[in-house]
Amino acid sequence: MSEAVVIYGADGRPIKVQAIGWDSAQSHGQKDRVRAYNWTSGSDSINNLLARGGVGTIRSRSREAVRNDPVAARAIDAFVSNCIGSGIKPLPIVDDEDLRREILGAWQEWCEEADADGRADFYGLQSLAVRAMREGGECFVRFRPRRPQDGFSTPLQIQLLEAEFCDALKDTALPTGNIVRSGVEFDRVGRRRAYWMFRNHPGDYIGVDSLNSFPVPADQVAHMFQALRPGQVRGVPSMSAVLVALYELSQFTDAELVRKKLAAMLCAFQTTPNPDNDILGAGSVGTATDGVELGSLEPGTLQLLPPGHDIRFSEPADVGGAFKDFMSQQLRSIASGLGLTYEQLSGDFSQVSYSSARAAMIEFRRSMKQMQTQVVVHQLCRPIWRRWFETAVISGRLELPSGMSVKEASSARWILPGWEQVDPQKSISAQVTAIQAGLMSRDQAIAESGVDPEELDAEIARGNARQAEYGLTFDPSVGPGENEPEGDEYD
């Protein structure tokens, strides 16, 4: 059995669709084609979609949401604090212990003076860069070499630049054969050669020259963003998928707040067949700007109304008892789109159990570790580390042993910030069991807590030596001096 269905297209012309039986229709996809007839989608590249889709508008709305919407502001804070914490720190991988200590000492000294704006150390810049990436979609880091007479331990500083500094409208072919796409210049084989940057933020109009972009060599810039598709040139704000939901939810909660306010005011509307009569007593009737007479009520008032007069109180519509569940569901959807848990976004831990919290945190930490290692470390930390190391060697701040190359000496692994455990006793017991079973190393367990294993061992050794020297005993099962090191190991 079949039925002819006529559907009119956007141009007004009728389109005839032959609808067949349900089972046959499903097998041929006809039903889906009818239901999704007006569903249009493009197959353009991600760069064309961003250029035509107004990524600048999305970025502006994202920044406004972070400024004015408490949910958006909390989303940024929660992500940055979990991603960076106290900082993602390098651990040099060299066999020479003296060289390793020298490298760490020089690095820690430079971390205090790394910011060209003088407002944060290197780890504070990490937080600011991730915040800029989440809010604006990307962050640019410009290397600023300094003169030896400027007095820095290593003549180098870094400057963070927001996404707007790179001229997104710069799309052209250069006489050299290079192509500029959304402000990023590529050579003929697709390598990044330069970034076309403004001298000042476009939002700060400082002279006509501030509106003209100029190329900055790519080796002087580190570009951090989370790529969503292969070949993507520029970043997208993390809140792009939930901006509409955030905006609508903000309007809804504001309207509900106003409704509660009106209900608390106990608004009344006076109805009378004779507007000249004062039904609330002499002098109680006032005239509004539009000519409508207004009455007033005071606590304890007993008011008699003449025949034919009436007072009606406003009764704003209530959303009922579903408000909490509705808000919870909306926040869960927004949290999912932002890569956070509902509890992190809302601060509501009333329904959390140990099992549910552990399951949620395992999934969250897996995605967070991916962000830390594949984006923050690879695109931000490593380029800065390599540039600092090369500058330190060239300037004489570091002296490498004969025959050791800069590439070999600059090898390092990055220690991610540790996670506070939901149940520390159970987690530590599980780690001890895994170490004893040979399923993980002690260094691995220590590194997962965000601590350098070698630094921890050295600190424990120093503490044991000092404990033995002063005859201190903190563990009843260990007597003073029993952990004293042999020979001159710690001299």
Question: H/E/C letters for each residue in 294-339?
Answer: ECCCCCCCCCCCCCCCEEEECCCCCCHHHHHHHHHHHHHHHHHHHC
Residue 366 lies in a domain: yes
Q: Does residue 356 share a domain with residue 251?
A: yes
For residue 375, the tally of other CB atoms under 10 A from its CB is: 18
CA distance 303 to 307: 13
Residue 157 lies in a domain: yes
Residue 295 lies in a domain: no
Q: Which domain holds residue 181?
A: 44-267+314-410
Q: Does residue 119 share a domain with residue 18?
A: no
Angle of helix 70-83 relative to helix 243-265, nearest 10 degrees? 130
Q: Does residue 194 share a domain with residue 216?
A: yes
Q: Does residue 70 share a domain with residue 7?
A: no
Residue 31 lies in a domain: yes
Residue 91 lies in a domain: yes
Q: What is the pLDDT of residue 165?
A: 94
Residue 483 lies in a domain: no
Q: Does residue 67 share a domain with residue 21?
A: no
Q: Does residue 129 share a domain with residue 60?
A: yes
Last residue of a domain, which of 354, 380, 410? 410
Q: What is the pLDDT of residue 273?
A: 62
Last residue of a domain, which of 385, 410, 435? 410
CA distance 134 to 226: 9
Last residue of a domain, which of 381, 410, 439? 410
For residue 397, the tally of other CB atoms under 10 A from its CB is: 21
CA distance 262 to 296: 16
CA distance 197 to 194: 9
Residues facing 4 on adjacent strands: 18
Residue 472 lies in a domain: no
Q: Does residue 242 share a domain with residue 177?
A: yes
Q: Does residue 155 share a domain with residue 115?
A: yes
Sign of the CA dihedral running 440, 441, 442, 446 = negative
Q: What is the pLDDT of residue 239?
A: 93
Q: Does residue 244 share a domain with residue 151?
A: yes
Residue 92 lies in a domain: yes
From first to last of the 491 residues of the chain, give the pLDDT tens digit: 445 555 555 556 655 554 544 444 445 455 556 777 777 777 788 888 887 767 889 999 999 999 999 999 999 999 999 999 989 999 898 888 899 999 999 999 999 999 999 999 999 999 999 999 999 999 999 999 999 899 999 999 999 999 999 999 899 999 999 999 999 999 999 999 999 999 988 888 776 666 789 999 999 999 999 999 999 999 999 999 999 999 999 999 888 888 777 777 655 555 656 655 554 444 444 444 444 444 565 665 656 666 666 766 666 666 667 788 888 999 999 999 999 999 889 888 878 777 787 788 888 999 999 999 999 999 999 999 999 999 999 999 999 998 889 999 999 999 998 877 767 777 788 888 888 888 888 887 887 777 778 778 888 888 888 888 888 887 655 554 554 444 444 33
Q: Does residue 348 share a domain with residue 250?
A: yes
Q: Does residue 48 share a domain with residue 30?
A: no
Q: What is the pLDDT of residue 450?
A: 72
Q: Does residue 93 share a domain with residue 18?
A: no
Number of folded domains in the chain? 2
